Amino acid sequence: MTDHSSPTGIFLLAYGTPESLDDVEPYFTHIRGGRKPSPEAVEHLRERYRLVGGRTPLKDLTFAVADRVQARFDAEAPGRYRVYVGMKHWHPFIAETVPRIAADGVQDVVALVLAPHYSRMSIGGYRKYLDEANAALEQPLRVTFIERWHDYPGFRQLIADRIVAARAELPPDLRDEALVLFSAHSLPERILSWNDPYPDELRESAAGIAALLGLTNWRLCYQSAGMTGEPWLGPDILDYLEELHSEGVRAVISVPFGFVADHLEVLWDIDREAQEKAAELGMTLRRIRMPNADDEFVDVLAALLRDVLEKRL
């Protein structure tokens, strides 16, 4: 039985990000499951962080989202819900936060990863860390884990609105012809042997957003593939820009809808690498504004969480 006198926990999960250049090596090591990366690989990643200012705002944005979700729920039911943050690969780690949730007297938790599309490798990894930390408690929490929310109408409308805003920033002569290019983090091709739903969810998600705008001129690609020596899902955005250029495309609206915040995969992979590739090809590229901690995004998350919480009553 759930004790309804105790608060219900809302657990927001994010990837994590190093807070300084000194943190890059241990952060990278954690991503690799404890296997230490080569000094060259560490320096390569560290240089990317240095070039975007030494750190990204991902942690700050995640906590800002949590604070604003908390405020939304406090306005409706003061003291009934308590919002927490846990990170997959950096502090506060999921395993650090779970005992604190239990210590606060919370018994019931809804967990939401701040990434819309499901893959066993990505979202499943969050679930694994959470389940392990929960199993270590003397009295485990009752957890409802939201595996996917790419099809939530509010999220799709938010991205559609951001596309409209990005199109308006293009020179007038390019607005009508600009191609909308959706992208998400690549994963190793071996996920296909698991019948992983990730590629299908991305296609379905992109098509659903495009339908809201009546778009026919759109494509889907991948970005941010790891350097692991095995094949990763493609086409990669940098290669795809070359293909689009060969087709005569002059302008692209970049929609990295697999992410919801400004972090390295956006600030470097899109804003630096993709922008430089587009400029080299003589193409114009405009990226949508990321959801970050904007009120419109917080409203979507709060509505999604309310729907899930109501179904559990």
Residue-wise over 279-290: b if at least 16 C-beta within 10 A, else e?
Answer: eebebbbbbbeb
Query: What confidence score (pLDDT) does residue 228 get?
Result: 84
Task: Give the pLDDT confidence of 142-160 residue by residue, as tens digits.
Answer: 999 999 999 999 999 999 9
Is the CB of residue 17 less than 8 Å from the CB of residue 90? yes
**Is-cis flag, bond preceding 231, omega within 30?**
no
Torsion angle, CA of 230/123/89/239, rounded to 10 degrees? 40
Whether residue 111 is predicted with pLDDT greater than 50 in this model: the reply is yes
Average pLDDT over residues 192-218: 98
Query: What confidence score (pLDDT) does residue 2 get?
Result: 46
Whether residue 305 is predicted with pLDDT greater than 90 in this model: the reply is yes
**Mean pLDDT lowest for which of 190-194, 218-222, 308-312?**
308-312
Whether residue 5 is predicted with pLDDT greater than 80 in this model: the reply is no
Identify the band that residue 313 occupies on the pLDDT scale cut at 50, 70 and 90.
low
Token pair listed for 22: 């000194």
- Which contiguous run of DSSP H or E holds residue 248? none
- Measure the CA–CA gap between 272 and 303, rounded to whole angstroms: 34
Q: Which of 245, 313, 307, 259 is nearest to 287 (CA)?
A: 259
Whether residue 267 is predicted with pLDDT greater than 70 in this model: the reply is yes
Task: Give the pLDDT confidence of 233-264 residue by residue, as tens digits.
Answer: 999 999 999 999 999 999 999 999 999 999 99
Average pLDDT over residues 107-119: 98
What DSSP string describes 183-194? EEE--BGGGGGG
Token pair listed for 280: 């080299």
Phi, psi for 40 (deg, rounded to 5) = -65, -40
Query: What confidence score (pLDDT) does residue 87 get?
Result: 98
Query: What confidence score (pLDDT) does residue 1 get?
Result: 40
Looking only at the bridges linking them, the beta strands covering 142-146 and 284-287 are unpaired
Task: Give the pLDDT confidence of 273-299 residue by residue, as tens digits.
Answer: 999 999 999 999 999 999 999 999 999
Is the CB of residue 155 less than 8 Å from the CB of residue 294? no
Identify the band that residue 227 occupies on the pLDDT scale cut at 50, 70 and 90.
confident
- Judge if pTM exceeds 0.85: yes
Query: What confidence score (pLDDT) does residue 4 get?
Result: 58
Long-range pairs for 157-161: beta carbons < 8 A, 24 or more residues apart? 157/212, 158/291, 158/296, 158/297, 158/300, 159/209, 159/255, 159/257, 159/288, 160/209, 160/212, 160/213, 161/296
Looking only at the bridges linking them, the beta strands covering 218-223 and 284-287 are unpaired
Task: Give the pLDDT confidence of 16-56 residue by residue, as tens digits.
Answer: 999 999 999 999 999 999 999 999 999 999 999 999 999 99
Task: Give the pLDDT confidence of 46-100 residue by residue, as tens digits.
Answer: 999 999 999 999 999 999 999 999 999 999 999 999 999 999 999 999 999 999 9
